[in-house]
Amino acid sequence: MASRRDRVAEAVARLRDAGIRVATFLDPEASEIDASVAIGVDAVELHTGRFAEAPEGRDRDRELEALRSASARIVSAGIGLHAGHGLNYRNVREVAAIPEMAELNIGHAIVCRAVFVGLEQAVREMRGRIEAAF
């Protein structure tokens, strides 16, 4: 995002002028977050894929810490904090527990689970895991 800042800034301005809220989808990197804040986005959605794919242990702990640090930076900038990609029934709790997390985007895992238990039950189960984080 930082490398395409001017082009993205123009698009963000047009969308916001049309009354559309804008979020960027970013890796949890300070330069990317700072660039998004500077161009006036309403929220940042953190890409949780590296966390979701990391094996248990140090790698995963490092990725979770990167998400926490990026989250604090986003919240301190006064914009919305969202996260998603690769979140599932086993890993969502850790991300949901990040303070000020306003939105989690979890589609694939819920739809896959819904094949076996129905959509209502799949959503209920995911919601239970998210609520258990608090």
| Spans of all domains in the chain | 2-131
State the pTM of this model: 0.92
Asked if the model's pLDDT at residue 3 lies above 90, the reply is no
- Report the pLDDT value the prediction gives residue 4, as an integer from 0 to 100: 85
- Report the pLDDT value the prediction gives residue 2, as an integer from 0 to 100: 63
**CA pair distance 26, 97, nearest whole angstrom:** 19
Q: Which helix (H) or strand (E) holds 47?
A: strand 43-47
According to the 3-state scheme, what is the secondary structure of 113-127? HHHHHCHHHHHHHHH
At the topology level of CATH, where does 2-131 sit?
A: TIM Barrel (3.20.20)
**CA pair distance 130, 98, nearest whole angstrom:** 11
Give per-residue pLDDT as tens, 90-106.
999 999 999 999 999 99
Give per-residue pLDDT as tens, 35-92.
999 999 999 999 999 999 999 999 999 999 999 999 999 999 999 999 999 999 999 9
Q: Percentage of residues in the chain with pLDDT exceeding 90? A: 95
- Report the pLDDT value the prediction gives residue 48, as an integer from 0 to 100: 99
Q: Name the region of 103 (left: φ>0; alpha: ψ -120 to 50; beta: rest).
A: beta
Q: Give the contacts of 114 (CB within 8 A, at least 6 positions apart).
A: 121, 122, 123
